[in-house]
Amino acid sequence: MPSVAELNEKERESLLADHPDWELAREGKAIKRTFQFGDFSEAWGFMSRVALLADAQDHHPEWFNVYAKVEITLTTHDAGTSGGLSQRDATMARAIDGLL
């Protein structure tokens, strides 16, 4: 049995409405957002702040970086039967958006 509740349809829609820069990925089991900065230094500064959030919330992103671009995918491995979106992802998306 999963230890974290998966968001239901309504909660998922609410998450996307509150965070319009994020889109569903992996058939609704994750959300994703791409960030474009001016250079690597700016991108890295942002990633460092996200890393602090991740450790504080004990919820870590799957992310990709090349130079000034950062792609973040949020999903909860313990949610649903094979991972899914949970309130943890909504909390993390809100915190990340708050950095910008």
| Least distance between its own copies and beta carbon 40 (Å) | 5
Looking at the Cβ atoms of 11 and 63, the one nearer to its own copies is 63
Looking at the Cβ atoms of 24 and 68, the one nearer to its own copies is 68
CB 36 within 8 Å of CB 52: no
| Least distance between its own copies and beta carbon 62 (Å) | 4
Q: Does 23 bind its own copies (CB under 8 A)?
A: no
Angle made by CA atoms 63, 99, 13, in degrees to the nearest 5: 70
Q: Does 60 bind its own copies (CB under 8 A)?
A: yes
> Alpha-carbon torsion 24, 19, 99, 84, what sign?
negative
Q: How far apart are CA 56 and CA 25, in angstroms?
A: 25
Q: Does 62 bind its own copies (CB under 8 A)?
A: yes
